[in-house]
């Protein structure tokens, strides 16, 4: 038996999720964002691979994920479009008239965004691995998926991009303006992080470790993590700690968006 969403006859969780999926699949912008993200992951990794020199260190996995700083903008845009798109288009009122309890819509958006972002990130990894195959072979940078460190870096890439997409969704649903949500996310993920990095110290390093950009730790191999922690006066988060920080930001923003959605209007 399908679970009915209280407050409106015939509204089920399955139907709400299907509705959000149909909305997303029916728009051109998200499709182009997915294509552009995969293409950018491959192109950036290939270009950066051209600058490899003997003795640079690193691994095949770190080369594959090397374009992350720019690639993450794709999933970010995807999340913002899902979270704020209906408010900008003026169709939110229709949606919440059909689903009066509102929160199932946000939950469905989270589910749909997570699935699309995971698929996009996995395709981006595969595309970047293919694009760098020649460079890695010539430089002796193996990509052994049976190696724990390699698997962690590649899995971290997928999880990080998915987390960034959900961060964009949370900000989009909270701010309800695509431009404002994207600007706030870019500020948190890139601008503030890099400003703090240019002014190292105990306070700035601690603040930086607690920003959502800490999720990039998921992409670092053991040598990269050791180098980062040695140069930082902030907390040692370990290989997965940055992912936890990003996850907490996502959870907090989605909770704030749910509270606003439950207590306020939809305009």
**pLDDT tens, position by position, 194-216:** 899 888 899 999 999 999 999 99
Contact 165, 75 (CB under 8 A): yes
Q: Using an 8 Å Cβ cutoff, are 4 and 12 in contact? A: yes
Q: What is the pLDDT of residues 161-177, one digit of tens each?
A: 999 999 999 999 999 99
Burial of 72 (0-12, 13-18, 19+ CB in 10 A): buried
pLDDT tens digits along 9-28: 557 888 888 888 888 888 88
Is the Cβ–Cβ distance between 93 and 184 less than 8 Å? no
Question: Residues 104-130: what's their mean pLDDT?
Answer: 95
More confident site: 165 or 56: 165
Helix (H), strand (E), coil (C) string for the chain: CCCECCCCCCCEHHHHHHHHHHHHHCCHHHHHHHHHHHHHHHHHHHHHHCCCCCCCCCCHHHHHCCCHHHHCHHHHHHHHHHHHHHHHHCCHHHHHHHCCCCHHHHHHHHHHHHHHHHHHHHHHHHHHHHHCHHHHHHHCCCCCCCCHHHHHHHHHHHHHHHHHHHHHHHHHHHHCCHHHHHHHHHHHHHHHHHHHHCCCCHHHHHHHHCCHHHHHHHHCCHHHHHHHHHHCCCCCCHHHHHHHHHHHHHHHHHHHHHHHHHHCCCC
User: Domain boundaries in the chain?
Assistant: 13-263
pLDDT tens-digit profile of 62-98? 999 999 999 999 999 999 999 998 887 777 778 777 8
Lowest mean pLDDT among 37-41, 72-76, 118-122, 133-137: 133-137
C-beta atoms surrounding 207 within 10 Å = 14
Tokens for 84, please give them. 């704020």
Residue 4: pLDDT band with limits 50, 70, 90: low
Structure confidence at residue 131 (pLDDT): 94
Q: What is the mean pLDDT of residues 154-159?
A: 96
Is residue 116 within 8 Å of 30, Cβ to Cβ?
yes
Band (pLDDT 50/70/90 cuts) for residue 1 is very low
Per-residue tokens: 55: 């003795």
pLDDT reading at 181 higher than 60: yes
- pLDDT higher than 90, residue 52: no
Q: Structure pTM?
A: 0.91
Contact between residue 236 and residue 153 where contact means Cβ atoms under 8 Å apart: no
Range 45-63 average pLDDT: 80
- Please, which pLDDT band fits residue 55 given cuts at 50, 70 and 90? low
């Amino acid at each position: 038996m399908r679970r009915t969403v209280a407050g409106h006859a015939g509204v089920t969780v399955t139907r709400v999720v299907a509705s959000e999926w149909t909305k997303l699949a029916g728009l051109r912008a998200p499709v182009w964002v997915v294509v552009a993200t995969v293409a950018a992951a491959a192109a950036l990794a290939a270009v950066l691979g051209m600058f490899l020199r003997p003795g640079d260190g690193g691994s095949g996995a770190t080369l594959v994920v090397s374009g992350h700083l720019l690639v993450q903008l794709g999933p970010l845009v995807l999340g913002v479009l899902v979270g704020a798109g209906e408010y900008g288009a003026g169709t939110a009122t229709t949606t919440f008239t059909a689903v009066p309890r509102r929160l199932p819509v946000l939950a469905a958006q989270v589910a749909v965004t997570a699935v699309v972002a995971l698929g996009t990130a996995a395709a981006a990894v595969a595309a970047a691995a293919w694009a760098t195959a020649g460079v890695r072979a010539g430089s002796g940078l193996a990509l052994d998926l049976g190696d724990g460190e390699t698997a962690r870096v590649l899995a971290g890439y997928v999880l990080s991009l998915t987390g960034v997409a959900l961060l964009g969704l949370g900000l989009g649903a909270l701010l309800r303006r695509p431009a404002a949500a994207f600007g706030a996310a870019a500020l948190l993920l890139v601008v503030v992080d890099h400003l703090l990095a240019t002014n190292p110290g105990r306070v700035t390093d601690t603040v930086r470790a607690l920003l959502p950009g800490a999720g990039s730790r998921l992409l670092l191999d053991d040598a990269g993590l050791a180098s980062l922690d040695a140069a930082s006066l902030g907390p040692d988060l370990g290989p997965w700690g940055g992912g936890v920080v990003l996850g907490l930001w996502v959870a907090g923003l989605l909770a704030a968006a749910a509270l606003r959605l439950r207590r306020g209007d939809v305009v």
